A and B are shown apart, each in its own frame.
Chain A
Amino acid sequence: MESSKVIHAFYNDDEVLLDAVKAVKSEHYHIEEVFCPFPVHGLDKAMGLAPTKLAITAFFYGITGLSFAIWMTNYMMIEDWPQDIGGKPSFSWIENMPAFVPIMFELTVFFAAHLMVITFYMRSRIWPFKKADNPDPRTTDDHFLMEIPIHNNEEALTSLLSKTGAVEINIVDKH
């Protein structure tokens, strides 16, 4: 570990923060993290974050749910114990399919929604009993915090950050 020192720059306005992120990026500094009390539109692009693929996973989870519903209705109603209910014998899945549409739809939604949210929680590391790690309690209220690692460039960084409108700049040891 060459450096464990980081700068914490606080902002109290989303538009100022967005301009600051752009300014810091244009000077080719690496922004380690930005903590926000609410979503700031365009921040992910300004920071250069890759787009999230959660929607794509949801699509595949939905396909899984649909396949499961098809397998389940076929196994239970057609293969394992076919019955003749109300003069409608269940000997072929495709002929009975219209009655299974609600189940197929519900299970598609069930799988897609729950598995996507679980994936989100795992990827963002949020779950019950997880300790929060935002460095300052104000970042869930009205302050934005930009974290930049220092590599012997304290002076240049602080002057840049204060020019961009940071309301408070702290240099801290990150363990």
Chain B
Amino acid sequence: MSHYEAPIREPLVLGDKSYHDITEDIAKPIEGKANKNWYMAFYISLAAMLWGFGCIFYTVGTGIGVWGLNKNIGWAWDITNFVWWVGIGHAGTLISAVLLLFRQKWRMAINRSAEAMTIFAVFQAGLFPIIHMGRPWNAYWVLPLPNQFGSLWVNFNSPLLWDVFAISTYLSVSLVFWWTGLLPDFAMIRDRAVKPFQKKIYALLSFGWSGRAKDWQRFEEVSLVLAGLATPLVLSVHTIVSMDFATSINPGWHSTIFPPYFVAGAIFSGFAMVQTLLGIMRKVTNMEEYITRLHVEYMNIVIILTGGIVAVAYATEFFIAWYTGSPYENYTYLSVGAATGPYWWAFWSLLIFNIFIPQLLWFKKIRRSFIWSFIISIAINIGMWFERFDIIAIVLSKGHLPSTWWRFEPTFVDVGIFIGTIGFFFVLFLLYARTFPVIAQAEVKTILKSSGEFYKKRRAQGIPSKPAIVVAKSVSKEANSDKNKEE
């Protein structure tokens, strides 16, 4: 029995679906017309994006002085946003790579969109270090290129340079992983496209995928090896991001638990963003039968786990800061000083949004509720932003000398660029949802017989998944051998 799955498992694909129904469902949002809501969301995002681009041009034209940074707080919203976006960009490859290695079938309904989210989030993340340079036209100096300064090379001892390598490797490998998985689905849309222009575009995007047995064999091997390579890669990226802080000697940053705790936090925030996006997308694109309550529950379980790791890390940081008895440790981002000082609101926002609210997910009713999952995911998105803000701004706001006690006030440019990246992200995601197959339909077809509701019901009645053979009557002889090619 190749398609057996324990009957106790809930179905992953609802409804009485055949292979062809899956094709129809996935192709529908691409072939149909966008509705009013899509256009409204798109124009709002576009406006935010253009506002953000305006703020970026203003920054580059005038100088970093237009931000709220000061002599003490040299990193604030820029690096906060950078780390926040990189963190969000962690769920996609985790879902497609780690869950593939663990043979979790539920990943197939959500991996495509999660990977898209990853790639779009890493785009936003990449913007910040580049604008933060102040002279972005010199951004190529981070690459180890022969240059006019008598071969002055980059410094391979610096975590900032490790970041360049880690993030560019992560972005490019994720992109290739995503695109390779997309090829058969683009081919499906190409082969049913009616409009010639649409057919041309999808023919180009599908790289001429034909679905030979040998291609599929290689496809599966490549997916497996890429998953094996991407798994340590995902973990390495946020590890290295955390080293930007951990290798410095600031109290509050110089912390050996940063790498594992940052990775857990990244997965936590990434899954929260997947919940936010898919909560809307499943409705808008009518994917309710593919992205089910069960998928939402599984994602919430990952959120509880990684959120728990983050909570333990916070508790450890808080305890150790207090236990050292060092006055300098009393103003790290998790300390009594932070909880009662001028940044008390940032401290408590972090705890409420990141630690207290997600505990609601222990209740099965809430964990399986779409609306609750959506609300909690928004809370986590906010909480994880505050985590990075607290780590950066609170720690920097109190140096070793009273003359280094400064506060950070964001300007409209800081806020504008952040809003702009959110707009840019949604512009990309909305365009994706209209033009790309949002579910890996070829993969979902492979689990239809084992995990589809229809086949599960039939199996319970003792009906085999293999249909009875009907002998075909006629043989046709055609002159034209190839229906796919134009005559």
Q: Spell out A's residues near B (CB within 8 Å).
A: 6, 12-16, 19, 33-44, 47, 49, 51-52, 54-55, 58, 62, 72-73, 76-77, 80-81, 83, 85-86, 88, 90, 96, 99-100, 102-103, 105-107, 109-110, 112-114, 116-117, 120-121, 123-142, 158, 162-175
Closest to B203 in A: A132
Query: Of the 9-residue stretches B117-125, B207-215, B303-311, which lies at the interface with chain A?
Result: B207-215
Contact status A103-B165, CB under 8 Å: yes
Instruction: Check if B211 sits within 8 Å of A134, measured CB to CB.
Output: yes
Closest CB-CB distance, A105 to chain B, in whole Å?
6
If A85-B157, A141-B20, A163-B471 touch, whether A170 touches B207 (CB-CB below 8 Å) is no
Name the CB-closest residue of B to A45: B217
B180 within 8 Å of A by Cβ? yes
Expressed in whole angstroms, the Cα–Cα distance for A73 and B3 within the complex equals 51
Main secondary structure of the interface of B (DSSP, over half): helix
Contacts of B481 in A (CB 8 A): 6, 135, 172-175
Residue among B442, B443, B475, B479 having the largest count of chain A Cβ atoms under 10 Å: B475
- The minimal Cβ–Cβ distance linking B250 to chain A, given in whole angstroms, is 15
With A37-B188, A135-B484 already in contact, the answer to whether A158 and B475 are too (CB < 8 A) is yes
* B138-182 residues at the A interface, CB under 8 angstroms: 144, 151-157, 159, 161-162, 165-166, 169, 172-173, 176-177, 180
CA distance A85 to B158 in the complex (A): 10
Task: Using known A-B contacts A135-B481, A172-B478, determine if residue A81 contacts B213 with beta carbons closer than 8 Å.
Answer: no
User: Can you show 6 pairs from A to B with CB atoms below 8 A apart?
Assistant: A6-B481, A39-B216, A40-B216, A41-B446, A113-B226, A168-B472
A-contacting 9-mer, from B30-38, B68-76, B230-238, B357-365: B230-238
Contact, CB under 8 Å: A137 / B213: no
| In the complex, chain B residues whose CB is within 8 Å of the CB of A137 | 191-192, 483-484
- A144 CB to nearest chain B CB (Å): 9
Q: Let me know if B151 and A81 touch, CB within 8 A.
A: yes
Please give me the residue from chain B that is nearest to A175 by CB atom: B481
Contact present for B215 and A126 (CB under 8 Å): yes
Could you tell me if B218 and A35 are in contact, using CB atoms closer than 8 angstroms?
no
Instruction: Scan B229-258; emit 1 where CB is below 8 A from any A CB, else 0.
Output: 110110010001001000000000000000
Known: A38-B184, A54-B225. 19 other contacts (CB 8 A): A12-B19, A16-B466, A36-B211, A37-B445, A41-B446, A54-B218, A54-B222, A72-B144, A76-B153, A80-B153, A85-B155, A99-B157, A102-B159, A124-B212, A131-B485, A132-B191, A132-B208, A140-B187, A170-B478
Nearest A residue to B166, CB-CB? A106
Contact B475 A13 (CB under 8 A): no
Closest A residue to B473 by beta carbon equals A162
Do residues B230 and A133 form an inter-chain contact, with CB atoms below 8 A?
A: no
Q: Chain B residue with minimal CB distance to A136? A: B483
Would you call B40 an interface residue if the criterion is a C-beta within 8 Å of the partner chain's C-beta atoms?
no
Q: Does B183 contact A (CB under 8 A)?
A: yes
Whole-angstrom CA separation of A77 from B152 in the bound complex:
10
Contact A35 B210 (CB under 8 A): yes
Q: How far is the CA of A114 from the CA of B169 in the complex (A)?
A: 10
Taking the nearest CB of chain A, how far is it from the CB of B211, in angstroms?
A: 5
Contact (Cβ within 8 A) A109 B207: no
Within 8 A of A (CB), among B464-486: 465-467, 469-473, 475-485
B165 CB contacts on chain A under 8 angstroms: 102-103, 106-107, 110
Tell me whether chain A's interface is mostly helix, strand or loop, or mixed: mixed
Q: Which listed residue, B188, B203, B484, touches A141 by the CB 8 Å rule? A: B188
- Return the contact of B184 from the options A54, A105, A130, A140 (Cβ within 8 A): A140
Find B157's partner among A40, A62, A96, A106 (CB 8 Å cutoff): A96
For residue B18, CB closer than 8 A to chain A, the reply is: yes
Q: Is B156 a contact of A77 with CB atoms below 8 Å?
A: yes
**Given A77-B156, A142-B18, A170-B477, A135:B204 Cβ within 8 A:** no
CB distance from B318 to the nearest CB of A (A): 29
Please give me the residue from chain A that is nearest to B481 by CB atom: A172
Instruction: Let me know if B269 is at the binding interface, CB within 8 A.
Output: no
A43 & B218 in contact (Cβ 8 Å cutoff): no
- Other-chain residue from B166, B216, B445, B476 in contact with A170 (beta carbon distance below 8 A): B476
Interface digits, B255-285 against A, CB 8 Å rule (1 contact, 0 not)?
0000000000000000000000000000000
Greatest chain A CB density within 10 A among B204, B208, B209, B479 is at: B208
Instruction: Write out the residue numbers on chain A whose beta carbons fall within 8 Å of the beta carbon of B156.
Output: 73, 76-77, 99-100, 103
Measured CA separation A136–B483 after assembly (Å): 5
In the complex the two chains form, what is the Cα distance from A116 to B177 in whole Å? 11
Q: Per a CB cutoff under 8 Å, which of B176, B212, B442, B443 touches A35?
A: B212
Q: Do B153 and A81 touch (CB < 8 A)?
A: yes
Q: Is the CB of B217 within 8 A of A38?
A: no
The answer, yes or no, to whether B292 is at the interface (CB within 8 Å) is no
Assess A134 versus B191: contact at CB under 8 Å? Given A38-B443, A162-B471: yes
Query: Is B461 part of the binding interface, using a Cβ–Cβ cutoff of 8 Å?
Result: no
Q: A13 CA to B467 CA in the complex, in Å? A: 8
Judge whether B219 is part of the interface by a CB distance below 8 angstroms. Answer: yes
CA of A172 to CA of B477, assembled, Å: 6
Distance in Å: Cβ of A143 to nearest Cβ of chain B: 9
CB of B111 to closest CB in A, whole Å: 15
Given A137-B483, A171-B475: A88 and B212 within 8 A (CB)? no
CA distance A43 to B213 in the complex (A): 7
Complex contact A52–B218 (CB within 8 A): yes
A140 to B333 CA separation, bound complex (whole angstroms): 54
Task: Report whether B472 and A33 are in contact in the complex, using a CB–CB cutoff of 8 Å.
Answer: no
